[in-house]
Structure 1
């Protein structure tokens, strides 16, 4: 599970890669806070950041796919919707019950796992498609 951005996660679309770097940076902040025993303080900031940033990022990806008539657009949208639902569930749990150690760990793990898998398995296909179509 990657917790830091690396070039092997690049899809070759600068704007999208920069957004991915921003998400990884926020998750890395959460991981560093956890190591310092401050995960409970950082998780609220992480939820606030991601609630806006991820939605904007997904919209940018989906707009790009639509602009170039990418065949996998529907599948991407479904995955984005599924992620937003899962993230919203974690956020609601935080807002309802406050922070618990497992919630911080679950959030960090789910974000890293999902993001790494999604980029590697789906977003890279967009990059290849756009390089060919571009």
Structure 2
């Protein structure tokens, strides 16, 4: 998932460390206990990471900024809603599945959009 952009890649490393920690917790029977912290981390993470990406997009006049930002706004709401649901109901199977779906969406976004952004920045520096 390396994009070649130092800032983006360092933030992606933090994301994958948190996801791997949750997977490890699930494998050892502690997944429900870790779900709330992971959801909170993800909510905070996407707010910061997406803000950093949007700054880069503005700085380099990225032509897909509007679509990228629209995804960011919608995704931040979805992950915040999921974190709030986990706070209210705890580590239910439904909440775990929802968080897993949102993580998959984020990983696909990284594979496509973040790599495209990093490529654009490399070509324009």
TM-score (norm 2): 0.92
Which whole-Å deviations, capped at 9, do the CAs of 1:81-116 have from their partners, x for residues lacking one? Answer: 1211211221121122122123223313421x1122
Unmatched segments (≥5 aa) in structure 2:
none
What is the total number of aligned residue pairs between the two structures? 125
More relative contact order in 1 or in 2 (CA 8 Å, sep 6+)? 1
On the 8 A contact 1:70/1:129 being kept in 2, the answer is yes
Aligned to 2:75: 83
After TM superposition, list the pairs within 5 Å mapping 1:4-43 onto structure 2. Answer: 9-43=1-35
1:102 aligns with 2:94: yes
Aligned partners of 2:61 and 2:102: how far apart in 1? 30
Aligned partners of 1:59 and 1:130: how far apart in 2? 16
On the 8 A contact 2:39/2:99 being kept in 1, the answer is no
- Give runs of ≥4 in structure 1 deviating > 6 Å: none
RMSD: 1.3
Unmatched segments (≥5 aa) in structure 1:
1-8
Shift in alpha-carbon separation, 1:10–1:60, aligned structure 2, 3 A: same
Aligned partners of 2:124 and 2:50: how far apart in 1? 20
1:127 aligns with 2:118: yes
